[in-house]
Amino acid sequence: MTSTAPAPAAPEDLLRGAGLRVTAARVATLRAVGERQHATADDVLGSVRAELGTVSVQAVYDVLHALTDAGLLRRIEPAGHPARYERRTGDNHHHVVCRSCGAIGDVDCTVGHAPCLTPSDDNGFVVETAEVTYWGLCPHCR
Amino acid sequence: MTSTAPAPAAPEDLLRGAGLRVTAARVATLRAVGERQHATADDVLGSVRAELGTVSVQAVYDVLHALTDAGLLRRIEPAGHPARYERRTGDNHHHVVCRSCGAIGDVDCTVGHAPCLTPSDDNGFVVETAEVTYWGLCPHCR
DNA sequence: CCCCTTTTCTGGAATGATTCCAGTAACGTG
DNA sequence: CACGTTACTGGAATCATTCCAGAAAAGGGG
């Protein structure tokens, strides 16, 4: 059947498009991250195991790294909390992190667009990316 | 002797001023952090032990927390690297982190001053602080 | 100046996320 | 369909940081 609708790219195609081998663990991981807001490695492990049965911890970390390196996932590492992964990549958006429970929200940085993404003095560093993290309390914790 | 010069506040006075008890570990820690750019807990442990002899790991972490809570130190926690401490507090400055060796540099965010420190959509969160981290390569690593 | 309550420090074990390692299994090109 | 490369398994190890219970200081009151 030839649909003309621009169906949301299937995990398999995303993987092939990124030059990665298609494996059950990768497909399941991609789906698991997509079904959740900001998944931790543990969340993914749970979802993937529910779908495929036995999957090693290492496999999930390997997959998460491979997908992140390939640009299919973005890793967020809030201080004091385990890393989280999301599928929104490429758009320079930021995050609000609850300092109490660690909940995370997306923030489109539209206010004045490009913020101070260019440091006033780069100390000789070659700056590649700027990352903004907002800290506060989520609706549930306050 | 009554000097009129505004001497840089002595560690002891800083501690008392913050309502903290003055202990050898705290004075030594304050000095250790001041003598280094961005000290890790381990750096501090080394300096403090060199100065005082035996000091427990826990003591250093306790001190570092107490001083950070009191506002005498600022903690920086770059993803993938151990936490670092600095004495420049109160001025909303940011950091450049080398993605290779973890080296850190200070960045005064003067470009357009207050960046997008106010998220366009706070997701219902009560935002308290905004933190900007620049990632790149330090002069030595590139 | 000494006592007493509170806070801090000691030492050792525990935690939790993530990684290392060596061997086995699966992918997909030819 | 065979083979070389890449991925996955299972278990142990790492590293920063924290937990715990008891011993030792800090400093205000008497």
Confidence at B1, pLDDT banded by 50, 70, 90: low
Question: What mean pLDDT is predicted for residues A114-122?
Answer: 59
Six token digits for residue A81: 């909390």
Query: Which of A25, A11, A21 is CA-nearest to residue A56?
Result: A25
Which member of A111, A121, A126 has the closest CB to residue B118?
A: A111
Phi/psi at B86 (5° precision): -145, 160
Six token digits for residue B122: 């706070």
Mean pLDDT value across chain A = 88
The 10 Å CB-count burial string (b at 16+, else e) for A89-121 is eeeebbbbbbbeebbbbbbebeeeeebbbebee
On whether any CB of chain B is under 8 Å from the CB of A109, the answer is yes
Instruction: Measure the N-to-C terminal CA separation of chain A; round to a whole number of Å.
Output: 51
Question: What mean pLDDT is predicted for residues B76-97?
Answer: 93
Question: Which residues of A are part of a known binding site for Zn(2+)?
Answer: 98, 101, 138, 141
Question: What mean pLDDT is predicted for residues B85-109?
Answer: 90
Contact between residue B67 and residue B121 where contact means Cβ atoms under 8 Å apart: no
Confidence at A128, pLDDT banded by 50, 70, 90: confident
Percent of chain A exceeding pLDDT 70 equals: 85
- Looking at residue B104, its pLDDT comes to 95
Annotated binding-site residue? B116: no
Distance CA B65, CA B68 (A): 5
Contact between residue B83 and residue A72 where contact means Cβ atoms under 8 Å apart: no
Mean pLDDT value across chain B = 89
Residue A20 in this model has a pLDDT that exceeds 60: yes
Helix (H, G, I), strand (E, B) or coil at A31: helix
Bridge partners, B62 (sequence order)? none
Distance CA A32, CA A52 (A): 12
Which member of A118, A121, A125 has the closest CB to residue B98?
A: A125
Handedness of CA A33, A38, A41, A43 (dihedral sign): negative
- Looking at residue A113, its pLDDT comes to 47
Confidence at A119, pLDDT banded by 50, 70, 90: low
Distance CA B23, CA B11 (A): 10
Q: Choose the weakest-confidence range: A5-19, A107-121, B1-15, B64-78.
A: A107-121
Distance CA A131, CA A78 (A): 11
- Looking at residue B89, its pLDDT comes to 93
Do the chains contact at A127 and B80, CB–CB below 8 Å?
Answer: no
- Looking at residue A130, its pLDDT comes to 86
The pTM is what?
0.89
Mutate to test the interface with A, among B77, B116, B142 (most CBs of A within 10 A): B116
List of E strands, B25-142? 39-40, 74-76, 84-86, 94-98, 104-107, 126-137
Distance CA B83, CA A89 (A): 27
Confidence at A91, pLDDT banded by 50, 70, 90: confident
Does the nearest atom of strand D lie within 7 Å of B23's Cβ? yes
Confidence at B87, pLDDT banded by 50, 70, 90: very high
Amino acid letter, B52: L
Percent of chain B exceeding pLDDT 90 equals: 69
